[in-house]
Chains A and B, each alone.
Chain A
Amino acid sequence: MEIRFTLNGKPTVVDVPPDTTLLHLLRDYLDLTGTKCGCEIGECGACSVILDGEVVNSCLVLAPQVEGRQVITIEGIRGPDGGPNDLQEAFIEAGAIQCGFCTPGMVVAATVLLRKHGYPTREQIVEGISGNLCRCTGYQQIVEAIQMTVLRRAGLPGKEGLA
C-alpha cells in the first residue's frame, strides 16, 4: 500500500504492507532508527514521534493512518545549523542522558510540551514526559534540562527549577 505523507518537512512516499506500524515503517523501510522500539504496546514512549503536532506512540499507529499527515521524528529535530537545538544542548549539559535509549522519545515529548506551554511548571513538565519511561536517570536531570531550556528561551538567568 502506498502511503504519502510529510516526514520531517519533506514529502515522502513509501510502499508498505497495510498492517505495518508507523514505528516499523520508520525503522525498517526508511532506515530512520532514531525512533526506538521498547515494548510495542504503547507503554514506554521510546517510539514517540510527532503526528500533526501531537506526541504519539508510533508503535500504535498504523502506517496508512499517516496518509496526508505530518510526521516529525527525532531526526527532524535540529538546530538551525543542523546540529543540536537548544533543548538538545540542554539535555547534554544537564546530564540528562545515560544510555540514551529513551532520549529520542524524551526529546520528542519535550518538544511538544514546550510548544504547548511556553512557561511550564515543574508539574506540567513531569506530566509532559510521564509517558516516557527511563530506567537510567531517575528523570530529574531530564526535567532540569527542560527547565533550563525554558529559562534560556525566556532570557532568564539561572539553571534552577521553576515552581
Chain B
Amino acid sequence: MSELKSLGKPTRRVDALEKVLGTARYTHDLKIPGMLVAKVLRSPVPHAEIVKLDVTPALKVPGVVAAITSEDFVDHSNWGFPVKDDYMLAYKKVRYVGDPIAAVAAETEDAAEAGLRAIVLELKELPAVFDVHEALQPGAPILHEELAKAEAEEPTSGELEDAEFIEVHGKGNLSETLIVRQGDPLAKLAECDVVLDAAYSVPHQEHAYLETEAALAVPTADGGVTVYVGDQSPFITLSNLVMTLGMPGKVRVIQSPHIGGAFGGKSDMVYETAAQAAMLAIKSGRPVKLVTSREESMVASYKRDAMEMHYRLGATKDGRLRAAKIECWADSGAYASMTPFTSWRATIHAMGPYRYEDCHVDISCVYTNNGYSGAFRGFGNTEVTAASEQAIDELAEMCGMDPMDFRLKNCVELGDTLPFGQKLEYSVGLKQCLERVRKISDWDRKRAEYSRQPANQEVRRGIGVASFFHGISLGAEGLDFAEHTIRLGEGNKFEILTGLTDYGQGSRTVFCLIAAEVLGLPVERFQWMPCDTDVVHECGPTVASRSTILGGNATRLAAMRLLTQLYETAAMMMGCMVPEVRQEGEVFHGPGGRRVSLDEIITYARTHHIPLSAKARWEMPRIHWSFAQGRGVPYVAYHFGAQVAEVEVDRRTGVTKVLNIYAVHDVGKVVFPQGIRGQIIGGISQGLGYALMERVEFDKGYIQNPNFDTYLIPTAADMPIVTVEFVESELPFGPFGAKNVAEPSMVPTAPAILNAIYHATGRRIRHLPANLERVLLGYDLKDTVTTVCQIGVCERAKCEL
C-alpha cells in the first residue's frame, strides 16, 4: 500500500479552534429570545405510588406558563429499549430517587421553582430494595409489576434482528439472564490441578461529563417542535420524541454544535430532558430551555451498573487455563435501559481473551431501587474485566507463574477459537501487545526489584498487568450500518454529513482525515456538519466505539464515489477520457499538458448543475449469536490490548499513588494520532478513578455524593505519565485497517492498578474502589453516619468524622 498522505499524521482537530477561543456553543450556551426556563420535579423517595399529582396550582403561579405530567404524552410517555419500562415523566409509580414526575416552564428561574413547589404531589411510599440478591428473593418488592405479569403470561420477543433475545419470565425483579455455554466447566474444574474460587464486585460509576444534560426546544409554525440537544444518537432521540409526543413528521432534532462529553451517558436522561422540554414548548408555544444542575445530573441520570461477580477458574499446574464458571449479578436499578446489552457484552468478555476448554457465563440483570444503570464506556466489559484480570493474576500466582508469562501462555492468537465457538479470523494483536508492554514497562526488572522490598517497608512499590479484548461495534445487539453523504458546500469545501456524533472523541476529525486521504486533498477542504435529523441519514447510535469503522467506512465509500465524480468532471472539462486524467493533489492533469484545478472543477460543476455529491452506506458483516444457546459469533472482530500499572502504596495510610502506566493497544491502524492518544489517556484516567476513588454511594437509594466535592474523579495531580504505543494489526474491512479504541482504553486500567497494589502490599482487593480503607484495612468502612440526600440539597456530611 502506498504511503498515506493524511492518515496517521499529526493533525489538528477540526473543531478545536472555537473550543480554545471559548466561542464553541454547547446546549448550555444556546439562547433564543422569549425562551422560558424549565425545571423538573423529581421523586424524593426511592419507591412510591403516585397517589395524587396535580400541576394546575403551578399554572396559577405568576410567571409559570406551562406545566406537564405523563398525561400530556402519548401512552403516558412510556418508552424504553430493549425493555419499554420507562417514562419521560413518571406514570403511577416512581422507582428511584430522582425519577422525573412533572415539569414546568416559566419566565424566570424563581418562577419555575415556585411552580414546582406549588405542584400537589402525594406519594405513598412502598417498600424498596437495594440489594440484587434480596431483589431476587420471593417476597421482594417488585419494581415492574406489569412486566412481571406480562412475562409470566407470554414470552416477549426482543426487538433485535437476527437474534432471539432470551428473557426469563415472571421472575419478579429479574429482567434478563445472558449466557455463554461451552462444555461442562464444573466437571472440568474438579479435574483441574489449580482452582480459584473468588467473589469480586464493582460499584456504580458516574459518567461525570463536565457538561450536564440540557435541551432547548423551539415550537415550529406547523405545530411541531425542533429540539436542540447534546445527545449521542439524534435518531434515537428523534424516534423517542416522535413516539411519546405523538407528532410524526413534525419533530426535528438538531444536535447542538458542541457536546461537553458523553462516555455513553448522554442517552436516556437526554431523551427525557428533550421530551420534557419539547412538550413544554408545545404547550406554551414558546422556546423552552431545560438545564440540569450537577446534583440533578448525578442523582437522576443513569450510572455504570454495579456488579457482583463470582469467578471459578481452573488450570493445570503448569498454568494452562482449562475451565471457567462465572456468575454475575448486574444492578440494573429502576429501569432496564442498556443493562441487558451491557450484560450481554459482559458475558462475552467475562472470561478474558484466553483459550479455555469449557466455559459457562451467566449474568443476571436485576431491578432495584438504586437509581438506574445504563451505558458507560466499556459497556459491561469494564465491569467484568476488573474482576477477570484480577482472577487471572490470582490463578497465575497459584501456579507459581509470573502474571505476564501466564497471560502469554494462554492468550488467544489468530486462528484460535473463543470459548463460545468463534474462530478468530481477523486482526489479533494481543500477544504483540503483551510482549511490547512487557518491554517498555521494564516489567521483569521491576517485578524482581519490588518483590525484594523488605517486609517492614512502609511505602512500597508494585507493578501489575492486565490484558483484555473488546468486541468491535454493536455485535449481535442489532443492525450495524452507517450512511454518509459528502457533498459540495459553502466556500468550495466538501461537507460530510453523518448521523454519528462527536462529543469529544474526534470522529469529525477522523471522517475528514479519511475523506482527505481517499480524495487526495488537504484536510482543510472538508467541513463537518452538525447533525440535523432533517438532513443527515440514520447511522445508528454513536456508541460502542463504532464511529471509526462504521462512519469511517461510509466516509471512505462516499469519498471514492465523489472521487469518481471529480475525475468525470475533470475529463469533461478537458475533453478527454476518465482514464487519461491524473490527479496531483488539487490539480487534475489531462493529456497534452491540459490541467484543471479543484476550484475550477467546482465552479464548472456549479455552472453546469453537476451535483458533486456522493452517498454511501456501509454495513458490518453479518454475524449470528444464539442467546438461547450462548454460542455463536458475537462480534466480527476484536480490539486487543494490555496495560501495565506501577504504583506506590503507603501501607500505613492506604494512600496509593500511580507512578506510571504503559498502554499498548492493537487498533488496527492509527488514523488521528493526537485523537487516539487522547482517547487512550482519557480512558485510563477514568479507569484510574474507577480503581482508586470513584463510587456512587447509595444509601437506601439516596446518593450521598451528588457533586464533585464528594464524588471524586482524578485531577491532573492524580495521573501518572502514560506511555502509549500501538500495534497495528490491520483489520481488513476497517477503513484503512482501523479498528476502534474509544472504550477499550479504560477496560484494563483498574485491574492493572489493583494487580500492582497486590504486588506492592500482598493485599488482594477484590472490591472496587481500592480506597484508603480497603488498602489499609482490607475492608471498606460503611458510612453509618449518612444523612439522607435529596435533590439539590445535601447535608454537610462532607467531613468524615
Instruction: Write out the residue numbers on chain A whose beta carbons fall within 8 Å of the beta carbon of B684.
Output: 138
| B504-A100 in contact (CB<8A) | yes
Instruction: Write out the residue numbers on chain A whose beta carbons fall within 8 Å of the beta carbon of B209.
Output: 99, 101, 135
B580 to chain A, nearest CB (A): 41
Within B442-493, the residues touching A (CB, 8 Å) are: none
| B678-A102 in contact (CB<8A) | no
Within A65-113, the residues touching B (CB, 8 Å) are: 73-75, 77-78, 83-84, 88, 91-104, 107
B225 to chain A, nearest CB (A): 23
Instruction: Choose the segment among B25-33, B42-50, B333-341, B605-613 that binds chain A (4+ C-beta atoms closer than 8 Å).
Output: B25-33
| A74-B21 in contact (CB<8A) | yes
Also in contact, A103 and B19, with CB within 8 A (given A37-B28, A135-B210): yes
| A38-B294 in contact (CB<8A) | yes
Please report the C-alpha to C-alpha distance between residue A46 and residue B279 in the assembled complex, in whole angstroms.
31
Also in contact, A132 and B504, with CB within 8 A (given A38-B211, A100-B260, A137-B678): no
| A127-B677 in contact (CB<8A) | no
B78 to chain A, nearest CB (A): 32
Also in contact, A98 and B210, with CB within 8 A (given A39-B294, A136-B678, A138-B682): no
Also in contact, A139 and B13, with CB within 8 A (given A36-B211, A46-B210): no
Instruction: Write out the residue numbers on chain B whose beta carbons fall within 8 Å of the beta carbon of A121.
Output: none
Give the tally of cross-chain contacts (CB within 8 A).
173
B361 to chain A, nearest CB (A): 31
Main SS at interface, chain A: loop
B32 to chain A, nearest CB (A): 13
Within A23-69, the residues touching B (CB, 8 Å) are: 27, 31, 33-41, 43-44, 46
A34: nearest residue on chain B (CB-CB)?
A: B22
Within A137-160, the residues touching B (CB, 8 Å) are: 137-143
Is B675 on the interface with A (CB-CB < 8 A)?
yes
Also in contact, A75 and B22, with CB within 8 A (given A41-B707, A98-B506, A143-B716): yes
Is A12 on the interface with B (CB-CB < 8 A)?
no
Instruction: Write out the residue numbers on chain A whose beta carbons fall within 8 Å of the beta carbon of B211.
Output: 36, 38, 99, 101
Within B233-283, the residues touching A (CB, 8 Å) are: 258-263
B332 to chain A, nearest CB (A): 24
B108 to chain A, nearest CB (A): 11
Instruction: Write out the residue numbers on chain A whose beta carbons fall within 8 Å of the beta carbon of B680.
Output: 138
Also in contact, A133 and B16, with CB within 8 A (given A102-B210, A139-B719): no
Please report the C-alpha to C-alpha distance between residue A92 and residue B18 in the assembled complex, in whole angstroms.
10
Please report the C-alpha to C-alpha distance between residue A73 and residue B22 in the assembled complex, in whole angstroms.
9
B380 to chain A, nearest CB (A): 20
| A107-B20 in contact (CB<8A) | yes
| A99-B17 in contact (CB<8A) | no
Contact of B258 among A44, A93, A95, A99 (CB under 8 A): A99
Is B548 on the interface with A (CB-CB < 8 A)?
no
B226 to chain A, nearest CB (A): 20
Please report the C-alpha to C-alpha distance between residue A99 and residue B24 in the assembled complex, in whole angstroms.
10
| A133-B210 in contact (CB<8A) | yes
Is B23 on the interface with A (CB-CB < 8 A)?
yes
B212 to chain A, nearest CB (A): 8
14 contacts between A and B (CB under 8 A): A27-B29, A33-B22, A37-B28, A43-B708, A46-B210, A83-B21, A99-B262, A100-B15, A101-B211, A107-B20, A132-B715, A133-B210, A134-B210, A139-B685
Closest 4 interchain pairs by CB? A34-B22, A95-B674, A99-B504, A100-B19
Chain A contacts to B: CB under 8 angstroms: 27, 31, 33-41, 43-44, 46, 73-75, 77-78, 83-84, 88, 91-104, 107, 126-127, 129-143
